[in-house]
Amino acid sequence: MKALVFERRIVDDIKIAEYKDPEVRSHDVLIRVKNVGVSPVDYLTVTLLNVNPIPHIPGVEFAGVVEKVGEHVKSVKVGDKVTIFGSIFDGTCDMCMEGYETICRNGGRIGIETNGGMAELISLEEKYVFKLPEEYDWKVASSLPVSGLTAYHSLKEAKLHAGETLVVFGASGGTGQFLVQLGRKMGAKVIAVSRKNWLKELGADVVVGYENVEEVVKNYTNNKMADVVVNSLGSAFWEKGFSVLGNKGRLVTFGDITGAEVKLDLRRLYLSHQIIMGIFRGNRKDLLELMELCKECKIKVWKTFTLDEGRDAINSIYDKERDGKIILEVS
């Protein structure tokens, strides 16, 4: 099969190569990959994270069509449209028992600790493969495993409910687009912090630039400020995010592309009864709920690349002109 592979920790080392077709064991599902959602995680996979095996195939979120199934597979059949649950888990540790497979004590991530989806074929255990309705949009399907799941789990953990105000930093990225749409579906008022006015088409009530966010949130909420703030960008926007959080507000963070170290005003935190929570993807139950919720979700795509152009796709993740999601079309 054709696959995008690398051996050295630089993006320029990524190349198209012939790779041995994956083995299909009795509980495995062979997927012919259709689309891959490209994200900062893929860039870090190549340049920073410890990966296995080497040479390595990146790609942490993708969707495709079932090509072949092992003899004991029951939940999907050849020809089914599928997406994946990307967190490797054993199902026996205390975290798994609590429904937190994504932080399994013996776990990992498909595309990092195993080969990923930037290839024509991938074989996964049945427990990681989820059937989608035929009408599901491919761009959305390939963005569910990380972008969509992280967004949904964030809002569930923050207990966002109808009538509350949600402020989303990084709203035009893959996860941000899901946050805007899911926030609206949950009945919240959504303020998207971005310069991209097309976010109103996804359901944002207000779109505001970073420089004016405090004033806009203050006026929009009649001085109450936000109930939930999601910051997927890291330290550069930490102060802004914290500044728009109201009493009993919940600040959710799961990204650090602008840095991971921040300063924290503890006095303000406890005097305002605020909560800070870190989120890492979500569990399989979340994915099933998300698949149902997002049948009509949309993804604004900036650029689509072929598998042969995979290096360019990963290199473009931090492009200043980026205006939406990056998709790799494999087949």
| pLDDT tens sequence across 214-224 | 999 999 999 99
Please tell me which residue, 25 or 236, carries the higher pLDDT value. Answer: 25
> Per CATH, is 2-143+299-329 categorized as 3.90.180.10?
yes
Q: For the chain, what is the largest distance between any 2 Cα atoms, rounded to a whole number of angstroms?
A: 61
Tens digit of each residue's pLDDT (9 = 90 or more) over 24-80: 999 999 999 999 999 999 999 999 999 999 999 999 999 999 999 999 999 999 999
Q: Which of 210, 101, 83, 208 is nearest to 147 (CA)?
A: 83
Q: Is the pLDDT of residue 234 over 90?
A: no
What angle, 0 to 180 degrees and rounded to 10, lies between the N-to-C axes of helices 284-293 and 149-157? 100
What SS3 class is residue 22? coil
Q: Is the pLDDT of residue 98 over 90?
A: yes
Which whole number is the average pLDDT over 221-242? 94
Which whole number is the average pLDDT over 9-28? 95
Q: What is the pLDDT of residue 256?
A: 84
> Cα separation of 232 and 8, whole Å?
28
Q: What is the pLDDT of residue 100?
A: 95
Checking DSSP bridges between strand 189-193 and strand 206-208, what pairing results, if any?
Answer: parallel
Cis peptide before 53 (omega within 30 of 0): yes
Write down the residue that tokens 């921040």 correspond to.
Answer: 262
Q: Is the pLDDT of residue 236 over 90?
A: no
Tens digit of each residue's pLDDT (9 = 90 or more) over 106-124: 999 999 999 999 999 999 9
Element (H, E) at 132: none
CATH fold for the domain made of 151-278: Quinone Oxidoreductase; Chain A, domain 1 (3.90.180)
Q: Give the model's confidence band at 258: pLDDT under 50 very low, under 70 low, under 90 confident, else very high.
A: confident
Q: What percent of the chain has pLDDT over 70?
A: 100
Checking DSSP bridges between strand 61-69 and strand 81-84, what pairing results, if any?
Answer: antiparallel
Tokens at 76, concatenated:
């999907």
Q: Residues of CATH 3.90.180.10 domain(s) within the chain?
A: 2-143+299-329, 151-278
Q: Give the model's confidence band at 255: pLDDT under 50 very low, under 70 low, under 90 confident, else very high.
A: confident
Strand stretches in the chain, DSSP E = 2-5, 15-18, 28-38, 61-69, 81-84, 87-88, 108-109, 121-125, 129-131, 165-169, 189-193, 206-208, 226-231, 245-253, 275-278, 301-306, 325-329
Q: Is the pLDDT of residue 5 over 90?
A: yes
Q: State the DSSP string of 134-171.
A: TTS-HHHHTTIIIIIHHHHHHHHHTT--TT-EEEEETT
Tens digit of each residue's pLDDT (9 = 90 or more) over 148-193: 999 999 999 999 999 999 999 999 999 999 999 999 999 999 999 9
Tens digit of each residue's pLDDT (9 = 90 or more) over 68-80: 999 999 999 999 9
